[in-house]
A and B are shown apart, each in its own frame.
Chain A
Amino acid sequence: MNLIFETDKAGLQKFYEEIIAKFETYAPVEKFEKFDYKRVSKLEECNPDSPIPSTMSVKPLFFPKTAKVMKFQEDSSGTTVSETDEDPLAGKRVILGVKHCDARGLQVLDEVYKWDYIDTDYKKRRENTIILSTRCDKAGTQCFCTSLDYDVENSDAHDVRIVNGLDGKIYIQSVTEKGENFLKENSSQQSVVGSQQSVEEIKKHYKSFESSFRLKMNYKEVNEKLQKLFDSPEFDPVSSNCISCNTCAFICPTCHCFKISDEKIKDTGVRYKSYDSCNNGYFTLMAGGHNPRPAKYRRWRQRAMHKFVYYKERFGVNLCVGCGHCAISCPVNISIFDVVNQVAK
């Protein structure tokens, strides 16, 4: 059995404070009524239980919005290329308040990052990070994580899981070995060790959590149908009001396309890697001027199929994790849930 502590609100607060005092801690910080994961030094600065619709994904802490790839310098003898002075991650760090969907998103990203070329920066960040869950009680309007190909209740995406019991108690449970060691070392304030009853209570919580979802779908059926629907005419009407901005991809916890750009001043420069999006018209534009995806429906087809078919075929996991971030942030409220269900109707 995993390590479980029973506690209450004050106990949880002490637990958080202990972590923040000891480690480099990141947690959702509010700005303009939107939460984003930032470095915190006090518990008052952040809200580990930030509401679902207004919280950005945790992806930028592992795959930064902008990362330096290398430096270069030109002189009479040619161009010299050197490593950047940025260290991806020196010590251990802890992230508080990570949603189920976000944590699963990282597991999904792991597949692509360990395939073919191994991204060492990403790997280092993943290995040195402890992920603590938020207390997801109720699904948001666009959430559908329970409808996909992973088991939210038994997932091992978090290292430590924090659950609001229906009996009013709060349960802190380690999920992975990393989490268990972390909990052993950092729970000096916690005294009540949970029993079999706590496990039952956590189960009950997930039952009530699952019943709060507005969006439900039959994942297997949708996936099977979509495999044969590349030429479906339905992609056109569902994407007709898309304005081809990049929002959905940039805030998605699993989108991982990037572009390379150089910042050059006189003879020295830095090469950056930053986000890119397949919904943008330029994404597939080639040097010769040909663009294989000039129309919006082709770009949306790529997005929907990559999320629900291609990635599953290649890596065995679904790329979409059902967080609903894209639908919430989309300027015209296009939901990938509606798109795939409409096409696979």
Chain B
Amino acid sequence: MDHSKQIQEIASRLFAENKIDYFVGYRQNSFDDTQVPFLITDPAEIPKLVFTERSVFNLSNYLKPDHTKRKRVGLVVKGCDSRALNLMLTESQVKRENVYIIGICCEGVLNEKGEKAQNCVECVMPDPVVYDEILGTASGKREYIVNADIKELAQKALTERADYFENIFENCIRCNACRHSCPLCYCAKCCIDQETSTLYHGANTSSAGMHALMTWSLHLAGRCVDCRNCEKACPSHLPLHLLHKQNEMVIYENFQQHLAGMEKDDRGAFYKYSLSDPDDFIL
């Protein structure tokens, strides 16, 4: 899966036609084979652009106002990234005419150890769902599978599960890298950043840390696209997907097999209502 050449060509064309102010792609790190996001305004930097199975970061994150505010952006997206972008478009965070989307039919990216990443093994949509140009061969939607670790966790008693997560979150340093790396966390003032609130104050007590991460995951329930940017960003290597995948499973089972960002104008599980919705899990 090497689309570096094609992406470079498209980027040069877009700059030449004056269609974009910014291009967001990936660049090779100088010291090993990993890659980092690369924002360019100068066409002279185009030869540095690459795309391989090492291009892991979800670039939709750079459409937040902090990075490319009111600019026309050319962007490279994989399947999961495009689902996040789809949600950002629906939630009016980005104007469609301001982004030129290069969609990649993804064959799965590699993790730090060089194996196929776990979310790519479980991926339901490797092809881009929104794009202006598509690269690679589309392989179509796949069956939704729930990994064994999530099933096992869901079967644990409530207190046991609480202890399990408390043990995990003990190593959290509350740097909030998970939130900052999430393309769907764009609130101007996040509720877990309130210094004065009782539950989410900045201190890293076990109650505040746990509440913050739990609330964060609930705000992403029915919206998380499983790109695992948060997990890759976490300096303590916490398995944050356990929170999101559990929510995803519950929503898939109870909200008409809903998966976030798969369709245009889909506003997420909690915005849809149908008389046939099951309600036995509420209270």
In this complex, what residue of B is CB-closest to A272? B203
In this complex, what residue of A is CB-closest to B62? A241
Neighbouring A residues of B254 by C-beta, 8 Å: none
In this complex, what residue of A is CB-closest to B170? A31
Contact between B237 and A32 (Cβ–Cβ < 8 Å)? yes
Question: How many angstroms between the C-alpha atoms of A36 and B238 in the bound complex?
Answer: 13
What bracket does the count of chain B residues touching chain A fall in? 35 or more
**Smallest CB separation, A281 vs chain B (Å):** 7
Question: How many angstroms between the C-alpha atoms of A146 and B2 in the bound complex?
Answer: 38
User: What sequence of 0s and 1s flags, for each residue 308-344 of chain A, a beta carbon within 8 Å of any chain B beta carbon?
Assistant: 0000000000000000000001011110000000000
In the complex, B273 has a CB within 8 A of chain A: no
User: What sequence of 0s and 1s flags, for each residue 176-195 of chain B, a beta carbon within 8 Å of any chain A beta carbon?
Assistant: 11011100000000000101
Contact between A36 and B171 (Cβ–Cβ < 8 Å)? yes
Q: Is the interface of B mostly helix, strand, loop or mixed?
A: loop
Question: How many angstroms between the C-alpha atoms of A185 and B203 in the bound complex?
Answer: 40
Stretch of A44-52, A129-137, A190-198, A261-269 lying at the B interface: A261-269
Contact between A274 and B61 (Cβ–Cβ < 8 Å)? no
Q: CB within 8 A of A243: which of B29, B180, B235?
A: B180
Question: How many angstroms between the C-alpha atoms of A164 and B24 in the bound complex?
Answer: 46
Contact between A141 and B237 (Cβ–Cβ < 8 Å)? no
User: What sequence of 0s and 1s flags, for each residue 229-270 of chain B, a beta carbon within 8 Å of any chain A beta carbon?
Assistant: 100110111110000000000000000000000000000000
Neighbouring A residues of B176 by C-beta, 8 Å: 245-246
In the complex, A223 has a CB within 8 A of chain B: no
In the complex, B6 has a CB within 8 A of chain A: no
Q: CB within 8 A of B37: which of A260, A296, A332?
A: A332
Given that A65-B204, A263-B201, A274-B174 are known contacts, is A34 also in contact with B237, CB under 8 Å in the complex? yes
Residues of B within 8 A of A (CB): 29, 31-32, 34, 36-39, 57, 61-62, 66-67, 171, 173-177, 179-181, 193, 195-196, 198, 201-205, 208, 229, 232-233, 235-239
Question: How many angstroms between the C-alpha atoms of A334 and B201 in the bound complex?
Answer: 28
In this complex, what residue of A is CB-closest to B34? A333
Indicate the member of A31, A243, A262 with the most B CB atoms within 10 Å. A243
Neighbouring B residues of A251 by C-beta, 8 Å: 173, 175, 235
Neighbouring B residues of A275 by C-beta, 8 Å: 173-175, 204
Contact between A261 and B202 (Cβ–Cβ < 8 Å)? yes
In this complex, what residue of B is CB-closest to A32? B237
Residues of A within 8 A of B (CB): 31-34, 36, 56, 65-66, 141-142, 214, 240-241, 243-247, 249-251, 259-265, 272-277, 281-282, 296, 329, 331-334
In this complex, what residue of A is CB-closest to B195? A261
Contact between B195 and A329 (Cβ–Cβ < 8 Å)? no
Contact between B66 and A246 (Cβ–Cβ < 8 Å)? no
Neighbouring A residues of B201 by C-beta, 8 Å: 261-263, 272
Question: How many angstroms between the C-alpha atoms of A260 and B201 in the bound complex?
Answer: 9
In this complex, what residue of A is CB-closest to B64? A243
Given that A262-B196, A281-B66 are known contacts, is A331 also in contact with B236, CB under 8 Å in the complex? no
Contact between A241 and B32 (Cβ–Cβ < 8 Å)? no
Contact between B31 and A245 (Cβ–Cβ < 8 Å)? no
Neighbouring A residues of B202 by C-beta, 8 Å: 259, 261, 272, 274, 276
Question: How many angstroms between the C-alpha atoms of A243 and B60 in the bound complex?
Answer: 12
- 18 A-B pairs within 8 Å (CB atoms) are namely A32-B237, A34-B235, A56-B236, A142-B31, A240-B67, A260-B195, A261-B196, A262-B201, A263-B205, A264-B198, A265-B198, A274-B174, A274-B202, A275-B175, A281-B66, A296-B67, A331-B181, A331-B233
Neighbouring A residues of B177 by C-beta, 8 Å: 243, 245-247, 331
Question: How many angstroms between the C-alpha atoms of A44 and B184 in the bound complex?
Answer: 42
Contact between A250 and B66 (Cβ–Cβ < 8 Å)? no
Q: CB within 8 A of A241: which of B38, B179, B203, B236?
A: B38
